[in-house]
Amino acid sequence: MDRIIIRGGNRLTGRLPISGAKNAALTLLPCALLTDEPLTLSNLPRLADVDGFGHLLNQLGAATTVEGTRPDEFGRVMTIRAGSLTSTEAPYDIVRKMRASILVLGPILARAGTARVSLPGGCAIGNRPIDLHLKALEAIGAELEMASGYVRASAKGGRLSGGRYRFPVVSVGATENVVMAAVTARGGSCIENAAREPEIVDLCRCLVAMGARIEGIGTETLEIEGVDRLHAASYSVMPDRIEAGSYACAAAITGGDLTLTGVAPDEMGATFDALREAGVTVEANGTEVRVAADAPLKPLTLSTAPYPGFATDMQAQFMAMLTLANGASVLTETIFENRYMHVPELARMGADITVSGRTAVVRGVEALTGAPVMATDLRASMSLILAGLAAKGETSVARVYHLDRGYERLEEKLSAVGADIERVSDG
């Protein structure tokens, strides 16, 4: 198993390219199941989850071809052609490893009139139920049956009817599933209290490029007019706002000066606001953003919330950064009940953090010290990398496969801007 070794203390400077967004890629890939014509996605990040999703599409009968495989290139272009579906089932083994596979439920059901998808179950960061995915699909004409850990969905008369659904709480995944299912329904749909994350906007724009009719994109009410069929399209995946935020924290925690390239600054709202509040310089110029810090960081009070609020996917990275702030910060996690697993690992590096329920109080310390630590989930892993970059001495981060789900060529990007970081394989 691989580990990442960091000898901390280097100030990061230079230009760092941002990849395509994992969380957009994983909802754009299943769109290919909605048409028998090819969907070409560019700026796809090279990540374990994207490869895994490609394999799932293959199992369902889609052919995939990939360009851009030169080792020195970032991103890839994948063309997916789902001429016909040879299977309508997403099995437990795949869904268990990659939770985003639940996002094939809506598209398979829309395309084939029936789908059988394993229930994902819990995961390290929380329970992650899918009841809202199912209720929203029911509202647009799905009939559901639960048996042996699977959900079997079918559309009355072989095609979804469309309908109205108001989410009781905002759900990114459930909004994605129901939108993909509704675009080819017989009638119209109205989805209220829909998630407004930029990744949902990316999804809707891709579907529109494929011939879907969607009004209200980027708002909490999506009006969808079902069309008989979708067609071929080419679409470029949006920049990864969480990767950009993570490297912005890397600049801040090392007192560095990084220019992030290939960013969509308008989608970075709460992350950049919080960095500025901490005293970090954030200057956007087109698709480039300079992030620089030269004074001790100020403490923050932050609470995670759906977009445009402060993203849960940034909570762990900010916590690492705030361990070195000049005072006490208060972080509240409102989306996932168990997303503080990085806390004991950061404490092993000298951080002073107290968790009580959903709230963590982070008291800034003078310095962190390197230590062997264990990654527990994707963003928790990044928080340990950030801590390691600033710590005195050597940090060894185990279970790097979590990072490989969401950060394209992390050690290469960081060493190019001055980090002393390497990946070692223990065989």
Ligand X SMILES: C=C(OP(=O)(O)O)C(=O)O
The footprint of ligand UD1 (CB under 6 A) covers 23, 127-133, 169-174, 197, 306, 311-313, 335
Contact indicator for 94, 59 with CB cutoff of 8 Å = yes
Q: Return the residue nearest ligand UD1 (CB atom).
A: 173
Which whole-number Å values give the CA distances from 353 to 27, 90, 115, 218, 319, in the listed order? 35, 40, 45, 36, 9
129 vs 216, beta carbon nearer ligand UD1: 129
Closest CA to 72 of 17, 13, 29: 17
Q: Does 413 count as an annotated binding residue? A: no
306 in a labelled binding site: no
> DSSP strand E in 89-174: where?
89-90, 114-118, 142-147, 150-155, 164-166
Which of ligand UD1, ligand X, none is residue 174 near (CB under 5 to 8 Å by kind)? ligand UD1
Reading the block at residue 296, the tokens are 């001790």
Measured in degrees and rounded to the nearest 5, phi and psi for residue 413 equal -60, -45
- Is 260 known to sit in a ligand binding site? no
- Tokens 């010290």 sit on residue: 369
- Identify what 100 binds: ligand X, ligand UD1, none; CB under 5 to 8 Å per kind: ligand X
In total, the chain counts a number of residues equal to 427
| Shortest distance in whole angstroms from residue 145 CB to ligand UD1 | 17
Query: Is there a binding annotation on residue 5?
Result: no
**3-state class (DSSP) for residue 84:** coil
Residue 415 structure tokens: 């060493």
Find out whether 140 is annotated in a ligand binding site: no
Point out which residues bind ligand X (CB under 6 A).
23, 99-100, 313, 378-379, 406
Q: Which is nearer to ligand UD1, 124 or 365 (CB)?
A: 124
Considering the complex, what minimum distance in angstroms separates the CB of residue 86 from ligand UD1? 28
Supply 195's token pair: 């998630």
Neighbours of 319 (CB within 10 A): 28
Query: How many Cβ atoms are within 10 Å of 363's Cβ, its own excluded?
Result: 15
* Residue 269 burial by Cβ neighbours in a 10 Å radius (0-12, 13-18, 19+): middle
Give min distance, CB of 409 to ligand X, in A: 17
Closest approach of ligand UD1 to the CB of residue 208, in Å = 21
Query: Rounded to an integer, what distance in angstroms lies between the CA atom of residue 112 and that of residue 34?
Result: 9
Question: Which residue, 12 or 21, is less far from ligand X as judged by CB?
Answer: 21
Of these partners, ligand X, ligand UD1, none, which one is at the site of residue 170 (CB under 5 to 8 Å by kind)?
ligand UD1
User: Active-site residue among 123, 204, 206, 249?
Assistant: 123
Q: Is 31 a catalytic residue?
A: no
Residue nearest to ligand X (CB): 313
372 is in an annotated binding site: no
Is beta strand 150-155 parallel, antiparallel or unpaired with respect to 142-147?
antiparallel
228 is in an annotated binding site: no
Task: Provide, rounded to whole angstroms, the least separation between the CB of residue 379 and ligand X.
Answer: 5
Residue 404, token pair as written in the block: 């490989």
Count other Cβ atoms within 10 Å, centred on residue 122. Answer: 12
Our CB check for ligand X shows the closer of 226 and 245 to be 245
Q: Residue 353 binds what, of ligand X, ligand UD1, none (CB under 5 to 8 Å, by partner type)?
A: none
* Nearest CB to ligand UD1, comparing residues 197 and 404: 197
C-alpha R_g of the chain = 21
Instruction: Pick what 306 binds: ligand UD1, ligand X, none; C-beta below 5 to 8 Å, kind-dependent.
Output: ligand UD1
171 binds, among ligand UD1, ligand X, none (CB under 5 to 8 A by kind): ligand UD1
Identify which of residues 255 and 406 has a Cβ nearer to ligand UD1 in the complex.
406
Kindly list the catalytic residues. Answer: 123
Annotated binding site for phosphoenolpyruvate: 22-23
